[in-house]
Chains A and B, each alone.
Chain A
Amino acid sequence: MTQVTDRPMLPADPDSSPYWEAIDRGELRVQRCTTCATWRWPARAMCNHCFGFDHDWPAVSGKGTVASWVRTHRAFLPQFADDLPYVTVTVRLAEQPDLLLVGQLADSHAEPEPEPEIGMPVRAVFRGVSEGRGLVFWEPEA
């Protein structure tokens, strides 16, 4: 994986570790209820559609659209002071309309970063951060 700058990676918890372990391997896997097939993110024990506890972690298509975006100009966190201003996106995954992931566009270091368009198709790519951890980013679909 291409390395990017250091990121504040918080510890995974027992619900979320399959998500993070997959990303470290360069795969985007999302939790899905095996009873009613509803996807959910962030990870948690029970499906809020059918209330089932059984689930698996299938790989998703990695395709989605930009649901919204924000450009941050203030260094709320010191780790991001050199990256200002930076764009954060919410991506709506193709698998389900209420499956919304926060992320960033990949390799976007123009100043200021380009404005994504809401509705723009994107696909997941992976970048390495600190200590062998991976992080998913988003690239405009050609």
Chain B
Amino acid sequence: MSFSGKAAIAGIGFTEFSRNSGVTTLTLALRAIRAALDDAGLSPDEVDGVATHRVSDSAASMTVAQAFGIRDLKYFIDHFGGGGSSHQVIGHAAMAVTAGVADYVVCYRAINARSAFRMGGTGRGFVDSPETQYQAPYGYYTPPQQYAMIARAYMDRYGANERHFGAVAVNQRANALLNDRAMMRKPMSYEDYLASPWIAEPFRLPDCCLETDVGVAVVVCSAERARDLRQRAVLIDGATWGGGATLYSIGEPDLNVSGARHMAPRLYRMAGLSPADVDVAMLYDCFTFAVLLQLEDYGFCARGEAGEFVLSGATAIGGTLPVNTHGGFLSEGYAHGMNHVVEAVMQLRGQAGARQVKDARIALSTGAPGYVGGVTSALLLRGDA
């Protein structure tokens, strides 16, 4: 039995995106969840499920449930994982409400990823991964370095270059100028991009996502219940997660094959959709390069062609496949995945204002493609008729 189309996102909420929230991750979570419940028109005492993912950097789902005074929590998940798991949390909630385990599940991600635990790795300790002891002695252990290693192999193989990476960053900055919650509101030209400092070559500063203090939440319930609530329901037609291999797990000699490439056909199959059906895409943009790879992984262009696809203007608002209309992690802020879902929902409700993609009906939203941790997840969402 598939849960395709049987569950929905009924509410969205978020706090300010900032460099220093001055509050705990629990506070960020509670503010975002309250906002999502208000958006849906739900009372906080109707929540009976709480779900999150984290990397030992945030308030646990049970802590949040207790803060809401829930005495008989019907469903919770406290998944250990980063961006690859971000969309999986919502997929789990969709299964739970479809199976009747819970009625209203709030899914959140709350982080002080700039003021406390810096997501990019600067000044923080080593994470617990099987590869760390082999990488740390070489000063190689942060996400920008790990993705840069893959990006270099991609450039060498397909002739991609800084024009392609820059086009992604510039396009998303243009989108962020239309988004009043975005952290980066200063225009950026390709020349500005080229003049910016290196972080881990081939990545410059604007190739890397922001580090952000933020809480973001969504409410998941059955499609039936969602139709009785305040907002237009956004149906979860596809929700898949999986992946597996990393560069170091043995079995994948190709540096340019991600978990998302293996998973994407399964996602489309579940939703009964194809890449041509997607009107707008929020692609996990921890780095510009990840957008290029996923344009290929999710079937929007052939291997090696994503850079030219972006340069053609196809991914701009008004193009054939607008991508990261909010500015993405590069220019809106980094909620570790959940802010992509919020923007997808706004587009499908027709609430994206100056960024609105005309007649957006189907949205793809993706988690990290699975190069570093091996894990990936994604959603195909549909605006209810």
Name A residues whose Cβ lies closer than 8 Å to a Cβ of B.
7-13, 16, 38-42, 44, 48-49, 67-77, 79-80, 83, 85-86, 88, 90, 92, 96-104, 118, 129, 135
Contacts and interface: CB of A to CB of B under 8 A. Distances in A.
Interface of B: 120-123, 126, 130-142, 144-145, 148-150, 152-153, 156, 197-202, 247-253, 255
27 contacts: A8-B137, A11-B133, A12-B133, A39-B250, A42-B248, A48-B249, A48-B250, A67-B255, A68-B149, A70-B200, A71-B201, A72-B140, A72-B145, A74-B122, A74-B200, A76-B123, A79-B139, A86-B139, A88-B145, A92-B253, A97-B253, A98-B251, A99-B250, A102-B134, A102-B135, A118-B153, A118-B156
Contact of B134 (A38, A42, A71): A42
B250 A40 contact: yes
Contacts of B249: 48
Nearest to A78: B123
B289 to A, nearest CB: 12
Contacts of A79: 139
B255 A98 contact: no
Nearest to A40: B250
A72 B137 contact: no
B140 A88 contact: yes
A100 B121 CA distance: 23
A76 B247 CA distance: 22
Given A10-B126, A12-B133, A76-B145, 16 more contacts: A42-B131, A67-B255, A68-B152, A68-B255, A70-B148, A70-B149, A71-B201, A72-B145, A73-B197, A73-B198, A75-B122, A76-B139, A90-B247, A96-B250, A97-B253, A98-B252
Contact of A38 (B247, B250, B253): B250
Given A38-B250, A41-B250, A88-B139, A10 B133 contact: yes
The winner among A16, A83, A90, A96 for most chain B CB atoms within 10 A is A90
A44 B249 CA distance: 10
Contacts of B133: 10-13, 16, 42
A68 B250 contact: no
Contact of B139 (A9, A10, A77): A77
Nearest to B121: A76
A129 B152 CA distance: 28
A69 B152 contact: yes
Contacts of B156: 68, 118
Contacts of A48: 249-251
Nearest to B135: A102
A19 to B, nearest CB: 8
A70 B152 CA distance: 7
A40 B139 CA distance: 22
A97 B257 CA distance: 14
B130 A44 contact: yes
A72 B251 contact: no
Contact of A80 (B131, B139, B148, B247): B139
Contacts of A80: 139
A72 B199 CA distance: 6
B140 A70 contact: yes
Contacts of B247: 90, 100
Nearest to B152: A68
A76 B125 CA distance: 10
B149 A49 contact: no
Most buried by A among B137, B199, B252: B137
A12 B144 CA distance: 25
Contacts of A38: 250
Nearest to B203: A70
B253 A98 contact: yes
Given A49-B251, A68-B152, A85-B198, A102 B138 contact: yes
Interface centre among A41, A79, A102 (most CB of B within 10 A): A102
A72 B200 contact: yes
B152 to A, nearest CB: 5
Contacts of A69: 149, 152
Nearest to A12: B133
B114 to A, nearest CB: 15
Nearest to B132: A10
B174 to A, nearest CB: 26
A129 B262 CA distance: 41
Nearest to A6: B137
Contacts of B123: 76
Contact of A73 (B200, B248, B255): B200
Given A11-B133, A86-B139, A76 B122 contact: yes
Contacts of B142: 76
